[in-house]
Amino acid sequence: MDQIQDKIKEFLSRFFKNHDLQPDEDIFALGFVNSLLAMQLVAFVEKEFGIRVDDEDLDLDNFRSIRAISNLVARKTGTTA
Amino acid sequence: MKIELTPEQRALRSEVRDFVARKIAPHAGQWDHEEAIPREIVERLKERGWLGSMVPAENGGKGLDMIAYGVLTEEIGRGCSSTRSLLTVHDMVCQGILRWGSRSQKESWLPRLARGEILGAFALSEPEAGSDANGIRTTATAVDGGFVLDGTKKWITFGQIADLFLLFAQLDGKPTAFLVERGPGFSAVPIRGMLGTRASMLAELKLEGVRTENMVGRPGFGISHVVGAALEQGRYSVACGAVGIAQACLDACLAYTRERRQFGQPLFEHQLVRALLSDMITNVRAARLLCMRAGYLRDAGDPGSSAETMVAKYFASTAAARIAADAVQIHGGNGCHEDFAVSRFFRDAKVMEIIEGSTQIQQSAIARFELEEL
């Protein structure tokens, strides 16, 4: 799980420069998420973790924080969050 | 690193090129004049599986990879940008469903779209909302068993004949995607007199209490995710189509400058003309390579594909506009008359700088992407 969160943090950190993003920090509240990042984020988690983000996964709460994304990945891969 | 087409991609290029030379290019000027493509050409595209060609085999399509798809789009665009527009918007609908449709939506629509039994069109723009997609005013209201849509959509490519629209509306103030069929309350008013891609059969759509059961994705994700996925497909298609226009201009100019004589020698012998031709050749090749790079990243599912597709679209569309302007210049008075295809290419190329994200939208986004990557 830590590895998943590390990879998500590494990806997101490119968009949140000079900010040490914490696992439960709300990335939407930080105000840097535009539609292009939203698409990139989906492509990233699919490619990095070999999962498919489906229409029913389109919920902001699944993408709100490093931990939320990590939980989504865990659910999709059947690993323990 | 290996930059060359596979034997299958080369074979497809030969097939499309031959088809375009016989069935499309000779008639494109007439279609432009009539502001419509004939139903017969749609039938031929269907027969060959070129509508929804990138839909995977398990969803009833040919499953073309993105490089092959780019080859197809470039070659069609080389002959007729309006016909290429049909592929573009139809495939944007396919991509929107593929990416964010429910299982039942995929099962219901994709095989029919891939077989060309129904034509798809992308309905985002409105009289008051173009680049600012979140500013759409069309509304969706949840009712028993579905949604009711009210509003107006404008500049909808192939809106005159499409059967299924990937259409965007505000649901409780959240931009949301829907699949809408023609039915009670729906009307399409043809738009004539366009500058370029005149045979793209544009329409203004009026929705007055139109019902649909089909929301794509979730409320609030219409622009960020569904438009995002569909537009990336559309940008790639337009970028490759722009390469097609540019190549057609180059072909026309190479032929013309060998035959046309001024000051006692072929135009080709004049150094300033050669300079224009050299710029055309270089920019066509650069644009095609950028498209191939974007296609490669799209096939790989790379998160960077959005940015690279924008780069390709920005470069290819602006290059095509410059090349088409130079092509008219080389043709002189002839280039200003509809008897010479370069006059159509010139008008079509301008449109490429506006559709699927204007040049300025790409410029704004590309720089931001790069800054984020630093």
In chain B, where do the E strands start and end?
Answer: 120-123, 139-143, 146-156, 164-171, 174-181, 186-190, 203-212, 214-216, 261-262, 265-266
Q: List the one residue out of B216, B37, B62, B22 whose CA is nearest residue B124.
A: B216
User: In terms of Cα–Cα distance, which of B248, B251, B253 is closest to B352?
Assistant: B248
Whether B71 contacts B115, CB under 8 Å: no
Q: Is B107 a catalytic residue?
A: no
Measured between beta carbons, the chain A residues lying within 8 angstroms of B365 are 36
Contacts of residue B114, Cβ cutoff 8 Å, sequence gap at least 6: B49, B51, B52, B53, B55, B59, B60, B61, B62, B94
In sequence order, which residues have a C-beta less than 8 Å from that of residue B194 and are 6 or more positions away?
Answer: B35, B200, B202, B351
Spell out the SS3 assignment of B93-146. Answer: HHHHHHHHCCHHHHHHHHHHHHCCCCCEEEECCECCECCCHHHCCCEEEEECCE
Element (H, E) at B258: helix B228-259
* pLDDT recorded at residue B86: 98
- Terminal C-alpha separation, chain A: 6
Distance between CA atoms of B238 and B74, rounded to whole angstroms?
Answer: 9
What pLDDT band is residue A29 in, cutting at 50, 70 and 90?
Answer: confident
Q: For residue A19, what pLDDT band results from cuts at 50, 70 and 90?
A: confident
- ipTM of the complex model: 0.85
Residue A16 pLDDT grade (very low, low, confident, very high; cuts 50, 70, 90): confident
Q: Which residues contact B238 (CB under 8 A, 6 or more apart)?
A: B88, B313, B316, B317, B352, B355, B356
The answer to whether residue A80 scores a pLDDT higher than 60 is no
B232 vs A39: CB contact, 8 Å cut-off? yes
Question: If you ran DSSP here, which 8-state letter would residue B152 be given?
Answer: E
pLDDT of residue A28 exceeding 90 = no
Q: How far apart, in whole angstroms, are the C-alpha atoms of residue B307 and residue B363?
A: 11
Question: Is A18 at the interface with chain B, CB within 8 A?
Answer: no
**Residue B303: which of A43, A55, A60 has the nearest Cβ?**
A43
Q: How many of the other CB atoms lie within 10 Å of CB of B347?
A: 19
- What distances in angstroms separate CA B328 from CA B146, B253, B274, B342, one per listed residue? 52, 9, 15, 6
Q: Do B225 and A58 touch (CB under 8 A)?
A: yes
Residues of A in contact with B216 (CB under 8 A): 55
Residue of A nearest to B374 (CA): A14
Q: Token digits for B283? A: 């920019």
Closest Cβ–Cβ partner in A15, A35, A46 for B301 = A46
What pLDDT sits at residue B374?
60
Q: What is the pLDDT along chain B (374 residues), one digit of tens a residue?
A: 788 999 999 999 999 999 999 999 999 999 999 999 999 999 999 999 999 999 999 999 999 999 999 999 999 999 999 999 999 999 999 999 999 999 999 999 999 999 999 999 999 999 999 888 889 999 999 999 999 999 999 999 999 999 999 999 999 999 999 999 999 999 999 999 999 999 999 999 999 999 999 999 999 999 889 999 999 999 999 999 999 999 999 999 999 999 999 999 999 999 999 999 999 999 999 999 999 999 999 999 998 899 999 999 999 999 999 999 999 999 999 999 999 999 999 999 999 999 999 999 999 999 987 877 66
Of B224, B304, B307, the CB nearest to A38: B224
Kindly report the nearest CA distance between residue B273 and chain A, in angstroms: 42
Closest CA to B196 of B101, B75, B294, B320: B320
**A35–B223 CB contact, under 8 Å:** yes
